[in-house]
Amino acid sequence: MATVTGGKLAAEALIEKKIEYIFTLSGGHITPIYQYLENSPVKLFDTRHEQAAVFMAEASGRLTRKPGIAMVTAGPGFTNALSAIANANMANSPLVLISGCVGVECIEKLDLQDMRQLPIIEPMVKKALVCHKTNRIPEFIDLAYRTAITGRPGPVYLELPVDILNASIDETQVKKTNTVVDSRPADSVNAAKIIEMIQSSKNPIVIAGSGAWYSDAGKELVEFAEKTGIPAFTFALGRGTISDTPPLCFESSLAIRPGAALFANFSTDLVIFLGSRMSFF
């Protein structure tokens, strides 16, 4: 019977997702994955610091509208990634951070770089996962990727113990999944309420944020603005969804800071937040 290692399963799952880039700083606990990515379509960027790797993955997620992928080793590799993860969480950036950790049998035995990583990062991510079965590695990678981009985007943490990556199992035991993420249809009841509010308002405005960008809603927003004549603004992370040029859009600004959006708020009777919050993001 043919066998396969956990490291190969992880690499194959990432390749199957058509991941173009992985940002990393190589370390012992994630070494089992690298060798199977060496001659693959995935391009590895081996950085000088884990913080840089995760910030690069976040930038990739923002630009491509697909989860950026970062890989770090256990202990200090993990802790070095936290500032970038916190930033991705605040900015709603789709990102998957894969981290190594000590083997399951070595937990609490003073093994190299052994620390409880999950409780540290859990409040900073959309979801924190740990895979304890080699045959479920593809399933967990699929879940992490799907969670990062479904609904409100954000960072997802996936921990893969080194013994799980090194283990060999029969290929027939592997649970492979590759979920396709589709756009969610609008709720008809809420849509009807919004239409009613727009029709009854005299001076409505639209403020588009990162949600409009990640939904690739530029075409629809332009069409909406042209048909209704409602002026649109973008928050910083929504910029690029539509052109900054009037009459459709009146620059990127914040509704809570001096600028066109704040000025418009003084005279409006309806503010439509499109994939945005009353904040910087």
Please give the domain boundaries of the chain with CATH numbers for all domains: 3-173 (3.40.50.970), 188-274 (3.40.50.1220)
pLDDT recorded at residue 16: 93
> pLDDT tens track of the chain, all 281 residues?
689 999 999 999 999 999 999 999 998 889 999 989 988 999 999 999 999 999 999 999 999 999 999 999 999 999 999 999 999 999 899 999 999 987 667 566 566 667 789 999 999 999 999 999 999 999 999 999 999 999 889 999 999 999 899 989 888 888 777 777 666 667 788 889 989 999 999 888 888 888 888 888 888 888 888 888 888 888 777 777 887 776 777 766 655 554 555 555 667 888 888 888 776 55
Q: How many whole angstroms separate alpha carbon 70 and alpha carbon 141?
A: 12
Give CA separation, 258 vs 115, 191, 200, 206, 252, in Å. Answer: 46, 31, 28, 17, 11
> Chain-centre distance of CA 95, in angstroms?
3
pTM for the full model?
0.85
| Cis upstream peptide for 94 (omega within 30°) | no
Tell me the sheet residues that pair with 193: none
pLDDT recorded at residue 29: 87
